[in-house]
Amino acid sequence: MPELPVMFIGRARESWKAKAKRHGVSTRTLDRWVKVGVIAPPEKINGRKYGDAHEEPRHDGEKAA
């Protein structure tokens, strides 16, 4: 079994679709936010995208970690 990246061990994840719905945007908008650094890139599990369930978008111009 491959090891998970340290940044995702023990963290709550939500599907990319659920994250988009929670923020009232499309999944494509989430992809754009990743590109400009508003949110961190998703973790891919079996070809599906999952994001940190507790992460909020940055609107102050700072890059996501």
pLDDT of residue 55: 85
pLDDT of 35-64, one tens digit each? 999 999 999 999 999 999 888 887 765 555
Determine the Cα–Cα distance for residues 40 and 16; give it in Å rounded to an integer: 12
Burial status of residue 57 (CB atoms within 10 A of its CB: 0-12, 13-18, 19 or more): middle
* Residue the block writes with tokens 């994001």: 51
CB atoms within 10 A of CB 23: 14
Q: pTM, whole model, 2 decimals? A: 0.73
pLDDT of residue 65: 55
Contact 8, 44 (CB under 8 A): no
Pairing of strands 43-45, 13-15: unpaired
In this predicted structure, the answer to whether residue 4 has a pLDDT above a threshold of 60 is: no
Average pLDDT score over the chain: 83
